[in-house]
Structure 1
Amino acid sequence: MRRVAKWVVAVPMAILALATIYPLIFTANVAMKTRREYVLDRFSLTDTLHWDNIAAAWNSVGMARYFANSLLVVGTSVFLLLWLGSMAGFALSRLPFRGSKALFIGCLAALFIPFQVIMVPLSRVMADTGLIDTYPGLVLAYVAQFLPFTVFLMTSYYRSVPREIVDAARIDGNTVYGVYRRIMVPIGRPALLSVGILDALFCWNDVLIALLMMPSADHRTLMVGVTSLRGQYTDNIPTFASGVLIAAVPVLLVYLFLQRQIADGVTAGSTKG
């Protein structure tokens, strides 16, 4: 019976894993083909590796610039998210004030609001303030979109910290900010790492917000740049597949080396507090 139970679990999981991995393998295989090989048989394995497709995708439409834009925007956004989210999480978990519960519930409610609902008013506000097609505008849009998630997880994590630690730090003469900087930030490093990875993946994989906030070609992020390849290389699918592969490699490396931290971040809100 145990063997049957194992097979009942293993077979569906193997099918799910294959369905997840196959698109990546197919994309990598297509990226290594010539246009002629793809037209003749798109599903066959390539005989030789044609790295020229990746070079063409990297150089022809400015993928290097898009990559740098994504690094700048994602790095700044994640820094602000962790800074604001950790301070808000500390305040909501260990500094109760009038309306703190309502504010936390508001953060929870914001998690259920899809971006499409606020897309039009956000674009109008950004246009009125001159932030459309600027890096600060996109960073602010990412912070506004993902801050409730960060605050929720950091609040849940900090609630697990014994109150006696905070009280002892205050007795030793630390100010509120001193407790946050010297006690809560070091204790919260595992949660900050997990949440930071998730926020970085959210921002890196985003297309809709970046496409709305960055209409000009020079300011595009990498994912938006990849979508432009589809229109430019409709008849050259291997080059388009190479662009998709370039955009996917950083995400794959993050999942490969930091999968434990990602899992901890996903479960932090349900296991802490």
Structure 2
Amino acid sequence: MAGKRLGKWVAAVPMAALALATIYPMVFTVNVAMKTRREYILDRFSPVTSLQADNISGAWNTVGMARYFANSVVVVGLSVFFLLLFGSMAGFALSQLRFRGSKALFLGCLAALFIPFQVIMVPLARVMADTGLIDTYPGLILAYVAQFLPFTIFLMTSHYRTIPAEIVHAARIDGNTTYGVYRRIMIPLGVPALLSVGILDTLFCWNDVLISLVMMPSAEHRTLMVGVTSLRGQYSDDIPTFASGVLIAAIPVLLIYLFLQRQIAAGVTAGSTKG
């Protein structure tokens, strides 16, 4: 009995320390965002005596976080839509359809997962500039789709491989075309995987700074995360305003993690046991 209790404490203490280390930065950011500039200069670590939303409203309206937020919603929403559309189509083809070169194509998608964006950053920027897509929403959306599509294809292929081939054969016997099988069979059966992959792709695109910084150089088209990083230089002497911008950017991600934990875990582990 004593050994079991000791084992529980050995596991509980590091996990509690990790939880505190994870929660404290968010608590500290909220605390700083609620302070006035004078209160922060006098004592940055003291708890606030009263909750004030002036810094948050100022960052939202005056600094331009509202525009950055809208840019991110548009870009991320369309990027995830195309990622799920193309990823589910490719996953269906690579897992259920037999054609020459399918295995090589899947291996190519796997290989693309290991190519960091820094390797293709300069050629991509030159191609986008030559085609007039720099500092445009379609250009950033295209860059996101190209960067995260291999990951989406890999997870959707892994999921669709768990679906018995007999279901596809039965649908073809009933008169469905390849597109009909995809629309009537694969999309409904792939909803759990689409939800998980969609959440992960949303987090990837939302948290991105480098791709957006390369593709969107103008302040008007900045996404939220790039806007937050720019605040650090513009408001280096006004940390409460900067903390308010960080808080605005973190709230959507925090809500996703809080309410969609199971789907995120399912997406991370997809294909780890089968496929």
Take 2:242 and 2:124, find their aligned partners in 1: how far apart are those partners?
A: 32
Answering whether residue 162 of structure 2 is matched by residue 144 of structure 1, we say no
Aligned-partner Cα distance in 1 for 2:109–2:186: 21
Residue 218 of structure 1 aligns to a residue whose secondary structure is: coil
Equivalent residue number for residue 177 of structure 1: 179
How far does residue 248 in structure 1 lie from its aligned partner after superposition?
A: 0.4
Structure 1 residues 109-128: aligned runs within 5 Å: 109-128=111-130
Partner of 1:241 in structure 2?
243
Output aligned runs, 1:1-273, within 5 Å: 1-273=3-275
Q: Please give the alpha-carbon distance, in whole angstroms, between the structure 2 residues aligned to 1:15 and 1:170.
A: 55
Shift of 1:229: 1.1
Paired residue type of 2:105: L
Displacement of 1:76 after TM fit?
Answer: 0.3
Task: State the SS of the aligned residue for 2:269.
Answer: helix
Identity of matched residues, %? 82
Q: Deviations over 1:27-81 (max 9, x none)?
A: 0000001111111111111111121000111112211111111010000000000
Give the Cα–Cα distance (whole angstroms) in 2 for the partners of residues 218 and 34 of structure 1: 28
TM-score under structure 2 length normalisation: 0.98
- Structure 1 residues 173-221: Cα deviation after superposition (integer angstroms, max 9, x where no partner): 0001100000000000000000000000100000100010000111010
**What is the TM-score normalised by the length of structure 1?**
0.99
- Mapped partners of 1:112, 1:91: distance in 2: 22
CA apart distance, 1:2? 1.3
TM-fit CA distance, 1:261: 0.4
Provide the C-alpha distance between the structure 2 equivalents of 1:10 and 1:162, rounded to a whole number of angstroms.
Answer: 42
Q: Distance in 2 between matches of 1:266 and 1:249?
A: 22
Instruction: Please give the root-mean-square deviation of Cα atoms over the aligned residues, in Å.
Output: 0.8
| Distance (whole Å) between structure 1 residues aligned to residue 43 and residue 68 of structure 2 | 32
| Counterpart Cα distance in 1 of 2:23 and 2:159 | 33
Distance in structure 1 (CA, Å) of the matches to 2:121 and 2:217: 15
Cα shift at 1:20? 0.8
**Which amino acid letter does the alignment assign opposite residue 42 of structure 1?**
R
Matched letter for residue 182 of structure 2 = Y
User: How much has 1:272 moved relative to structure 2?
Assistant: 3.5
CA distance in 2 between counterparts of 1:145 and 1:96 reads 26
Q: Distance in 2 between matches of 1:78 and 1:3?
A: 46
Unaligned runs of 5+ in 2: none
Output the CA distance in 2 between the equivalents of 1:51 and 1:148: 42
State the one-letter code of the partner of 1:253.
L
Please state how far the C-alpha of 1:8 moved relative to its aligned partner. Answer: 1.3
AA partner of residue 130 (structure 2) = D
* Unaligned ranges ≥5, structure 1: none
Aligned-pair CA distance for 1:134: 0.3
Letter of the aligned partner of 1:238 in structure 2?
Answer: P
Q: What is the number of equivalent residue pairs in this alignment?
A: 273
Cα distance in 2, alignment partners of residues 18 and 104 from structure 1: 41
